[in-house]
């Protein structure tokens, strides 16, 4: 009974747009564990026992949260299913403080990336173009690596079926368009049978791991701060930096702020504007600006 219910539950959620790449395996494991205990319905005690086997509290909380969602789905039609209490706490990790690159940092990254590989190699040009594009558009690295020639239009970049299966158009500044065109002039004859924008030395689509390794090498070469307790200068931090710089240019008036945040949220491909507002609380400079503005408002010097 539970085995069939899990498959039905997974089908419904996937039809709603959730990928559930790992949840299916976990829930099937829970079902096998429950059946071995002789349980035909979701039982809180059994769920907690199953979820409690991993070594870390976060892993336990994550496993139990999957059962809780499944139990809520089942209990809507059959009250014999129990909804376990979330005794291991939240299954959501707190987001780490992002590393924010300065304009000089980004210039050093792009320049150093161009020197990767042998002298005058296409590899260096590929990485420097990739990193520059992510920095000036805020694309996710996965979105940039999936770009194909047909996705480059006069109106901007077409980002197809990205996170949560959403597509969007990302307009480009004229300087970005010009730089991309210069790269294309060399890229097209390099691997004419492959239509991905970014390719490896083997003339196949560039993989995320290769891009991250190259970025790590560049960060090490230019000597950006790294270490325990410090924000990590990762390739994804280029997207964070773009978002923060965009927020810093936001006008002061309430109506302008609302429109600016909505536009930025759409541009970044966020599913909810709340994910964009997170950058306000995650960045010390922006929080400082908010505090100063709020203080002025309270004492009557509204700006």
Residues 200-253 pLDDT 10s: 989 999 999 999 999 999 999 999 877 777 888 999 999 989 888 888 777 766
The pLDDT tens digits for 140-156 are 999 999 999 999 999 99
pLDDT band at 93 (very low <50, low <70, confident <90, very high): confident
273 or 121, which is more confident? Answer: 121
> Across residues 67-91, what is the average pLDDT?
93
CA nearest to 129, candidates 194, 191, 176, 170: 176
Give percent of the chain above pLDDT 70. Answer: 88
The answer to whether the beta carbons of residues 164 and 148 sit under 8 Å apart is: no
Among 128-137, 229-238, 257-266, 282-291, the range scoring the smallest mean pLDDT is 282-291
Instruction: Provide the residue ranges of all domains of the chain, joining segments of one domain with +.
Output: 2-75, 103-222, 237-298
pLDDT band at 303 (very low <50, low <70, confident <90, very high): very low
> Across residues 6-30, what is the average pLDDT?
86
pLDDT at 227 (0 to 100): 74
pTM given for the model: 0.71
Topology adopted by domain 103-222 = hpI Integrase; Chain A (1.10.443)
- Give the list of residues 6+ apart from residue 236 with CB closer than 8 angstroms, or none: 140, 141
Tokens in use for 37? 């205990």
pLDDT at 130 (0 to 100): 97
- 229/249 Cα distance (integer angstroms): 29
pLDDT at 119 (0 to 100): 61
Per-residue burial over 34-62, b if 16 or more Cβ lie within 10 Å, else e, is beeeebebbbbebbbebbeeeeeeeebbb
């Amino acid at each position: 009974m539970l085995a069939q219910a899990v498959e039905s539950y997974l089908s419904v959620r996937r039809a709603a747009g959730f990928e559930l790449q790992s949840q299916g395996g976990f829930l099937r494991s829970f079902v096998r564990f429950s059946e071995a205990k002789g349980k035909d319905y979701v039982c809180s005690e059994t769920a907690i026992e199953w979820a409690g086997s991993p070594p870390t509290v976060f892993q336990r909380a994550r496993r139990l949260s999957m059962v809780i969602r499944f139990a809520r789905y089942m209990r809507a039609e059959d009250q014999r299913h129990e909804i376990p209490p979330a005794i291991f706490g939240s299954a959501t990790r707190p987001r780490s403080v992002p590393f924010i690159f300065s304009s000089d940092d980004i210039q050093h990254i792009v320049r150093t990336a161009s020197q990767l590989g042998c002298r005058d190699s296409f590899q260096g040009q590929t990485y420097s173009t990739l990193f520059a594009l992510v920095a000036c558009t805020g694309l996710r690295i996965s979105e940039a690596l999936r770009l194909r020639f047909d996705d480059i239009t006069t109106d901007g970049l077409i980002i197809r079926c990205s996170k949560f299966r959403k597509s969007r158009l990302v307009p480009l500044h004229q300087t970005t368009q010009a730089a991309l065109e210069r790269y294309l002039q060399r890229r097209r004859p390099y691997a004419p049978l492959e239509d991905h924008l970014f390719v490896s030395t083997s003339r196949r689509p560039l993989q995320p791991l290769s891009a991250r390794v190259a970025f790590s090498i560049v960060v090490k070469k230019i000597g950006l701060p790294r270490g325990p307790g410090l924000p990590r200068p990762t390739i994804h931090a280029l997207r964070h930096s773009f978002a923060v710089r965009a927020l810093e240019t936001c006008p002061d008036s309430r109506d302008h702020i609302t429109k600016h945040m909505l536009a930025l949220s759409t541009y970044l491909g966020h599913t909810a504007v709340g994910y964009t507002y997170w950058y306000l609380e995650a960045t010390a400079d922006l929080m400082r600006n908010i505090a100063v503005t709020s203080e002025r408002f309270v004492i009557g010097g509204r700006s």
